[in-house]
């Protein structure tokens, strides 16, 4: 879904190429669990490998599970590589050394980039801007406006409340991106131009935070770009991450870019990540918006806060007040709230059993709904603890549990037992095998899971 899970699925050669960019390294380090971050930083200065026993001794005994998660993550991302058998001599070993102990070291490329980052920081190259550029520089309000317009336009198109995908109003190179194709390849929308509808993952997408939404779309975008123009994956990803590394209102010159980077820029402008503008001398520039900065971030809660202002208050009587005038945000709330009144700046609704179960039926999860409510909580609501009243949260979980009361197993029904003894022995045998589901003595019937059928058949035959 985000960058990390994307990288996990890539082959070693591709990951190796990606890690040679400082931006990728930074984004990866920011994205891994906190314990894994500490392990990486402990190893960044070491030239020799570290024995597994040494790493295992770092966490407290109570943190076993977090340790296992961290190690799995580091392994899957190929941040930790095994030291080959021949070079075991130069390993920071446990005392006393154990035989055949595995040893790890950081991915050499990552280590190189991180060491560089420790020395000089990963700040974007600052540049001196000419007067004409400075004068044409868009204000932060303009940037914000552009980001909101493009991104919300995209979301409301996805949701179906506007018939047309957003267009790029400002000047600059024309984007080649086909939004409909992008949404379909991200499996958010299905159907053709006449009749488009949200998929289950599309519904979940509407409730995600901006960071995860961005990455989900960009992953689809990267795949599209690879299929269409055969663009080098590594260059696309590191370019995207580099954008995230720029400070707000640090313009990028399009003139100094390669053709494929310029195309990416145009597409990103359409998504609201960049705002293209021209300086007095006709040179093309682009300014990253806060959406672009979210890219390089870790999606942490605090970074999220800056991306969007909270507006939702949930009360213990299941009533919800949302201070918003955005039609998009109202449309999202309509997914799981019964709307009662809409005022110019306020949406009032109730979380009812029907509205929540309707949302669950579309493939949403009660936890997702709750996270959404918490994430967009109004600053006033944030002062309470818990942010969403406990009774509301529990009730939503219960509603979900109700929808899952029925469970189906593929089963085999055995009946017409000639002898009650055989029936009884068969029931015992089914229980022994752990496949017993149901039995009924008067009618001498027995149901067991279908996967145990061969053994059951054997058994009943041998009894008769």
Partner 1 sequence: MSEDSSSSLMVVLLETHSSMWIQADSQPADQRHLSAAGLLEQAVGFLNAFLLLSDANQLAVFCIHASTSHLLHLSPGLLQTRAKDKALMQDTLGLEIIARIQDIMQQPETDMGGRPALAGALSRALCFIRGQWGGSAEEGQRLKALGRAPPRLLTIASSQDAPQQYIPTMNAIFAAQKLGVVMDTCMAGPHESAYLQQAAHITGGQYLRPSKPGALLQYLLTLYLADTNTRKLLKYPPSPGIDFSASCFCHKNPIDMGFVCSVCLSIFCENVKECSTCGTKFDLL
Burial class (CB in 10 A: 0-12, 13-18, 19+), 301: exposed
Q: Is residue 330 within 8 Å of 281, Cβ to Cβ?
A: no
Binding of partner 1 at residue 374 (CB under 8 A)? Answer: yes
- CA-based nearest residue to 168, from 274, 245, 244: 274
Binding of partner 1 at residue 387 (CB under 8 A)? Answer: yes
Q: Which stretch binds partner 1 (CB under 8 A): 99-107, 218-226, 296-304, 328-336?
A: 296-304
Q: Minimal distance in Å, beta carbon 118 to partner 1?
A: 4
Answer for which of 57, 95, 259, 406 binds partner 1 (CB under 8 A) is 57
Binding of partner 1 at residue 407 (CB under 8 A)? Answer: no
Name the residue nearer to partner 1 (CB basis): 38 or 88: 38
Q: Which stretch binds partner 1 (CB under 8 A): 29-37, 146-154, 235-243, 324-332?
A: 29-37
**x-marked contacts with partner 1 along 297-336 as a string, rule CB under 8 A:** xx-xxxx---------------------------------
Answer for which of 5, 9, 45, 191 binds partner 1 (CB under 8 A) is 45
**SS3 string of 318-368?**
CEEEECCCCHHHHHHHHCCCEEEEEECCEEEEECCHHHHHHHHHCCCCHHH
Residue at token pair 């022995």: 425
Q: Is residue 122 within 8 Å of 245, Cβ to Cβ?
A: yes
Binding of partner 1 at residue 142 (CB under 8 A)? Answer: no
Binding of partner 1 at residue 117 (CB under 8 A)? Answer: yes
Answer for which of 13, 131, 256, 383 binds partner 1 (CB under 8 A) is 383
Q: Where in 164-223 is the site for partner 1 (CB under 8 A)? A: none
Name the residue nearer to partner 1 (CB basis): 182 or 252: 252
3-state SS class at 314: strand
Sheet containing 49-51: give its strands across. 80-82, 103-106, 49-51, 91-92
Q: What are phi and psi of 252, to 5 degrees?
A: -110, 135
Sheet containing 411-414: give its strands across. 411-414, 445-449, 436-440
Tokens of 151: 């991104």
Q: Using CB under 8 A, list all residues that contact partner 1.
A: 26, 29-30, 34-35, 37-38, 41-42, 44-45, 57-60, 62-63, 66-67, 114, 117-123, 126, 247, 293, 296-298, 300-303, 374, 382-383, 385, 387
């Amino acid at each position: 879904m985000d960058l990390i899970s994307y990288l996990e699925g890539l082959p070693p050669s591709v990951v190796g190429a990606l890690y040679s960019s400082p931006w990728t390294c930074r984004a990866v380090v920011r994205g891994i669990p906190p314990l894994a971050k500490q392990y990486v930083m402990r190893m960044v200065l070491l030239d020799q490998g570290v024995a597994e026993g040494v790493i295992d001794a770092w966490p407290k005994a109570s943190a076993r599970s977090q340790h296992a998660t961290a190690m799995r993550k580091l392994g899957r991302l190929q941040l930790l590589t095994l030291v080959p058998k021949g070079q075991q001599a130069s390993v920071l070993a446990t005392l006393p050394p154990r035989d055949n102990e595995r040893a790890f070291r950081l991915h050499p490329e990552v280590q190189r980039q991180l060491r560089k980052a420790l020395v000089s920081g990963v700040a974007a190259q600052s540049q001196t801007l000419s007067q004409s550029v400075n004068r044409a520089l868009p204000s932060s309000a303009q940037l914000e406006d552009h980001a909101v317009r493009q991104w919300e336009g995209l979301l409301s198109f996805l949701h179906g409340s506007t018939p047309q995908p957003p267009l790029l109003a400002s000047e600059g190179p024309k984007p080649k991106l086909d939004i409909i194709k992008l949404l379909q390849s991200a499996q958010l929308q299905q159907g053709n131009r006449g009749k488009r509808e949200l998929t289950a993952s599309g519904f979940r997408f509407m409730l995600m935070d901006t960071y995860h939404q961005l990455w989900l779309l960009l992953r689809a975008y990267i795949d599209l770009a690879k299929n269409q123009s055969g663009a080098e994956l590594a260059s696309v990803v590191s370019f995207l991450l580099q954008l995230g590394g720029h400070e707000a209102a640090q313009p990028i010159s399009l003139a100094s870019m390669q053709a494929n980077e310029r195309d990416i820029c145009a597409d990103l402008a359409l998504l609201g990540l960049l705002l293209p503008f021209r300086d007095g001398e006709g040179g093309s520039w682009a300014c990253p918006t806060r959406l672009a900065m979210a890219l390089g971030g870790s999606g942490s809660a605090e970074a999220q806060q800056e991306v969007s202002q909270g507006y939702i208050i949930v009360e213990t009587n299941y009533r919800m007040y949302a201070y918003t005038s955005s039609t998009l945000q109202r449309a999202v709330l309509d997914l799981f709230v019964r709307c009662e009144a809409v005022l110019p700046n306020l949406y009032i609704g109730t979380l009812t059993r029907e509205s929540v179960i309707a949302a669950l039926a579309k493939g949403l999860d009660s936890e997702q709904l709750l996270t959404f409510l918490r994430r967009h909580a109004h600053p006033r609501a944030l002062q309470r603890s818990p942010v969403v009243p406990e009774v509301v949260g529990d009730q939503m979980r219960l509603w979900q549990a109700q929808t899952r009361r029925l469970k189906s197993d593929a089963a085999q029904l055995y009946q017409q037992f000639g002898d009650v003894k055989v029936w009884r022995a068969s029931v015992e045998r089914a229980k022994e095998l752990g496949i017993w589901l149901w039995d009924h003595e008067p009618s001498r019937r027995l149901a067991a899971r279908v996967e145990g059928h061969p053994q059951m058949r054997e058994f009943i035959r041998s009894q008769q």
